[in-house]
Every structure is written in structure tokens, then in C-alpha cells.
Structure 1
């Protein structure tokens, strides 16, 4: 392993020093307070790993405000205490049970590569994702119920519809967690589903009464 681990690239080192000399230096007291008093985020955001989805910038959030968990296609598995190494489930449990966040947000987005991969897999165009050795394919299989709900739509609309279904499926799965359901039923937390258009900057939110997404 030692021969593969190298020093940080110089451009990242330079950016760190720039941040340390400006943003950190100007807000040193705030960072020290966060370190000493711990985090008290008001919201948890489950978003995609996609580098184009800049969660804190979208909402103008400061350090300590959001508890963020990212994974491919912003998916949440169903509650399964007998499963193995559920990083997403663990993050949700910690946010809800320990941090007691007031808002739990699932944030999907346009041009999602994970969703496109799921669509290709479910339509038989990505056999490599169906191999047992594919971590990505096994993860994206969580979205198969969403594909079943959009497969009758015109082909050119299916991927966009599946991006929205990735949010809905995650919302449905979140409610299967007993501690999430308890927090919602006691009005200690609210649940939100969002979809962000990277190109236009638009944001849509899920309206369960209509079963549809609406512009924010």
C-alpha cells in the first residue's frame, strides 16, 4: 500500500493554504466554536456523489448547518437491520437519533449518471452492471421499483422521470425506518424530496398530495 499513497497534489495544497489564510482566518472563532461545542445541524441532506451538485452553495449554507450524506443516485435502501455495512442507513440513524435533525432532505438532480446507468441496466443495455461483482449495479438495483413505474412512458422521457423516482423511492424507503417514522409522527422532523436541474439552476419539490414535483 505504501508505494501507492502519495502527497496531496500541489494545486489542492495551494487551495487549502488559500482557504486557511482567508475564509478560516476571517471566521476562526466560529470554527473553534464548532470544534468545542460539536455539531448541531438543522438538516440532513442525502444527495448524489455527482461533483456538479454543490449542496451548500445551492442553499447558501455555512459550516455546521447541514449533515450531508452522498452516494450514487441519492438512494436510500429499505430498513434492513440484518444487512451488511449500510453506510447510508447508518448516516440516517445518526442524523435522526443522535443529532435529531429537524429536516431530512433527499436531493436528486438532472443528468444523473447513476440513474442513467440504472435505466440502461433495467432495459438490458448494461450487462456489466448485472454482474455479481458490480458494486454499482447492486446499489442501483434499489431503484428498480422506480423503473417499473416509468417504463411505460415514452422512451425519451424515461430517464428524467427515473431521476425523480430516485427521490420518491428514497422517501418511501426512509419511512420504513422505525426511528424516522417515529420522528415524523411526533412532528419532531419533516421529510422533503427535491430535484435540481444543474443547467437551469431550477429546484423542484415533491408534492405527495399530487404525486408530482413542482417548482420551488
Structure 2
């Protein structure tokens, strides 16, 4: 495997610093996690965006959150067709094996994936419309959100509205999974939706009764 190379020096330096400090000072806790397995209370479904630091936002330690990331923090509808479904598999494991009490979908501002979906649906991104585009076919999940924001004429406002639509659609799609719906209906699981403004450091929480997002 000649194409696999050594870690960059700066990452090696950072690792050694972590091993000598954070790990060394909490060695017994890490050994506990290794021996006892993971028992996270919540699953977080967040965007791949490097600016969305979900563990830092909530001050989480190792073992606290079961985290899944994908483009635009989307959850597809239940569709057991035999194809590869990384997000669906993560949701199934979180609910059926780990028995998490909460699933939290975290959307965010200035999302490149959401902008890409907008441009694709508006006919401005031919590359994403190609059947060979993994990103484009993934973002098809959000097409209903583009349609529902058709009355917003300002492009930037519409994209921000679509960021919230991504959270709504993902919450709705979660309930199409039979094991999720069963856990919710039997009060073993609750679903939550958030939208995080990166620049302002704020969080808006989805209120299912009013179908709006409210600041924390």
C-alpha cells in the first residue's frame, strides 16, 4: 500500500501532547471505557463541516455522545433496499444496540451542503445533477425543503431557511424507521432538532408544537 503515508508531523506532535496530558491524567477513565464499552445517553447527527464542533459546544467527554456526521446533517427515509446506508446503520445501532435516550439533529449556518442543494435544485450546479455525483444524490433528500421555501426570493435567506428544513426533514425521516417510531411512542427515545449559528455561537431549538425554531 504505497499510497498510504505516515501521519503529518503536526498531528504526531499533537497526539503526543494529548497522550502525555489528557490521557495520562485520566488513564483510569479511558481504561474503564475500553473495558466496559460505550453507554452514550444521546446520539448526535451533525454535518461533516469542520466548524461544527459538537463535543465542544456541549462540553462532552469521551463516551458521552454517539456521533454520526454526514453532508448537511441529513437522515434518509427508511428504505431497506440492500444498498449501503451508513446513516441508517448508525441510527439503527444507536437505537437498537446502544438504546440511546435522545437523538439530536444539529443543523448549522453557512452550510456548504445546503448551498449545494439550493444551487442544484435551481439549475445552477450541473455537476451535482449528474447521476454519478454522490453528493448530489445524497442532497436529493433535501429537495422537498427547496420546494417549501419557494416563496423566499432572497437567495441567502432561502438557503438559511433550507438549513432549518434539513433538520425538519431529518426528524420526519427518523420517524419512518419502525424501531425509532416504536421507541418514541413507548417513551424510550426523544428526538430533538437544533440549528447552530457558527459566528454568533447561538443555538435555536425546534419546537414541534409551533413548527418553529426558538433560541436557547
- TM-score with structure 2 length normalisation? 0.98
In structure 2, relative to structure 1, the CA distance for the partners of 1:188 and 1:159 (3 Å cut) is same
Root-mean-square deviation (CA, aligned residues, Å) is 0.6
Quote how far apart the aligned CAs of 1:83 are: 4.4
Distance 1:65 1:37 in 2: 13
Quote how far apart the aligned CAs of 1:183 are: 0.5
Task: Look up the SS of the partner of 2:60 in the other structure.
Answer: coil
**1:15 matched residue in structure 2:** 14
**2:121 matched residue in structure 1:** 122
User: For 1:24-65, what per-residue CA distance to the aligned partner results, in whole angstroms no more than 9, with x for missing partners?
Assistant: 000000000000000000000000000000010000000000
User: For 1:111-133, what per-residue CA distance to the aligned partner results, in whole angstroms no more than 9, with x for missing partners?
Assistant: 00000000000000001000011
Quote how far apart the aligned CAs of 1:3 are: 2.1
Distance 1:143 1:132 in 2: 16
Distance 1:134 1:163 in 2: 21
**1:105 matched residue in structure 2:** 104
**2:188 matched residue in structure 1:** 188
**Structure 1 residue ranges, 4+ long, deviating more than 4 angstroms after superposition:** none
Note if 1:163 corresponds to 2:184. Answer: no
- TM-score with structure 1 length normalisation? 0.98
Task: Look up the SS of the partner of 2:24 in the other structure.
Answer: helix
In structure 2, relative to structure 1, the CA distance for the partners of 1:167 and 1:62 (3 Å cut) is same
Distance 2:24 2:126 in 1: 51
**2:30 matched residue in structure 1:** 31
Task: Look up the SS of the partner of 1:4 in the other structure.
Answer: coil
Note if 1:88 corresponds to 2:96. Answer: no
**2:179 matched residue in structure 1:** 179
Quote how far apart the aligned CAs of 1:154 are: 2.3
Task: Look up the SS of the partner of 1:67 in the other structure.
Answer: strand
| Number of residue-to-residue matches in the alignment | 215
Note if 1:59 corresponds to 2:92. Answer: no
**2:202 matched residue in structure 1:** 202
Quote how far apart the aligned CAs of 1:155 are: 2.2
Distance 2:211 2:152 in 1: 16
**2:70 matched residue in structure 1:** 71
Instruction: Provide structure 2 residue ranges, at least 5 long, that are not aligned to the other structure.
Output: none
